[in-house]
Structure formats: structure tokens, C-alpha cells
């Protein structure tokens, strides 16, 4: 029996998070409840051990998405994709040096997200038309 692929989304923009969630649910992936803080991302990733993390670099809380992933990498090996705005050079450089599967620019193009998820084996069917969220 094949293990179901799971995705943990940590995104401050609820509309973007819901669109990503719906997109992957249409392709039979289980999406854990959406998180909005770096603190929750750190704790829940260790507990849930998802197949993939999709995280905003600018999460709320005492730590942002970059710091949460940096701490996670020291303890567990879960592939991740960063969602970022390319208007902050320091944040962009910090996220780049963590070596995510991919950096996706916000607004998100679902085709780019799909290609990035393919790199870690979270495959899906290419039957949809792709658009920006």
C-alpha cells in the first residue's frame, strides 16, 4: 500500500494558503491544518513529519519562516519550498543559503509550485490549467 503524501503549509496570507491547499487536495494529497507562525511550523513539523513543507519566509510569531526552517534542518530532514517576495534582499539571501527545493515568488504560479514539488517526489497530474494565486 502506497503511503499518502502529506503537505504542511505555513503561510500568513489565508487566501494564498487556501488556494495552495485546494490545489493539492484536488490531486489527492493530505494537507495538514494551515499554520501562520514560525513557532507553530517548528513544533508541528517535528510532530507531523510531512512529505513536504511549503513555508512563507515572513511568518508571524517570535521566529519567521527562515528561522523555523533553519532550526528544523538541524533536527529532521524534510524538503521544503519557500514562498517569498523578492523585495527584501537580505531575506532572499538568507532563504537562498538554506538551500530549499525552490524559492517561489509571491504571487504564486501553481505551475512553478508543481514543478518544485516534483523535485521531491510529491508528484501530481498535469491535467489542470495553471494560474497565479
For 47-88, the pLDDT digits (tens) are 999 999 999 999 999 999 999 999 999 999 899 998 887 666
Structural domain boundaries of the chain? 6-118
Cell numbers describing residue 44: 508541528
Cα–Cα distance between 123 and 52 in angstroms, integer?
Answer: 11
Using the CB atoms, write b or e for 120-131: b if 16+ within 10 Å: bebebeeeeeee
Residues 6+ apart with CB under 8 A from 64: 38, 57, 58
Sign of CA dihedral 48, 6, 103, 37: negative
Name the least confident of 34-43, 50-59, 96-105: 96-105
Instruction: Place 125 in a pLDDT band, splitting at 50, 70 and 90.
Output: very low
How far apart, in whole angstroms, are the C-alpha atoms of residue 93 and residue 67? 13
In this prediction the pTM is: 0.81
pLDDT digits (tens, 9 = 90+) for 102-121: 778 878 777 767 766 666 56
Nearest to 44 by CA among 76, 19, 82: 76
Question: What is the longest distance spanned by two Cα atoms in the chain?
Answer: 45
Percentage with pLDDT > 70 across the chain = 76
Strand partners, 80: 53
Q: 24 with 7: CB under 8 angstroms?
A: yes
Kindly list the distances between the CA atom of residue 14 and the CA atoms of 93, 129, 133, in Å, as whole numbers in the listed order.
25, 22, 11
Residue 129 in this model has a pLDDT that exceeds 60 = no
According to CATH, what is the number of the domain 6-118? 3.40.50.2300
Amino acid at each position: 500500500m502506497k503511503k499518502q503524501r502529506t503537505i504542511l503549509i505555513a503561510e500568513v496570507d489565508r487566501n494564498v494558503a487556501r488556494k495552495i491547499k485546494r490545489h493539492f487536495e484536488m490531486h489527492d494529497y493530505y494537507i495538514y491544518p494551515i499554520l501562520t507562525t514560525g513557532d507553530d511550523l517548528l513544533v508541528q513539523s517535528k510532530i507531523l513529519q510531512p512529505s513536504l513543507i511549503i513555508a512563507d519566509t515572513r511568518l508571524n510569531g517570535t521566529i519567521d519562516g527562515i528561522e523555523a526552517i533553519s532550526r528544523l534542518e538541524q533536527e529532521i530532514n524534510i524538503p521544503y519550498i519557500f514562498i517569498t517576495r523578492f523585495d527584501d534582499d537580505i531575506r532572499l539571501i538568507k532563504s537562498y543559503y538554506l538551500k530549499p527545493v525552490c524559492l517561489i515568488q509571491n504571487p504564486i504560479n501553481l505551475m512553478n509550485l508543481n514543478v518544485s514539488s516534483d523535485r521531491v517526489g510529491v508528484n501530481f497530474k498535469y491535467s489542470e490549467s495553471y494560474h497565479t494565486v
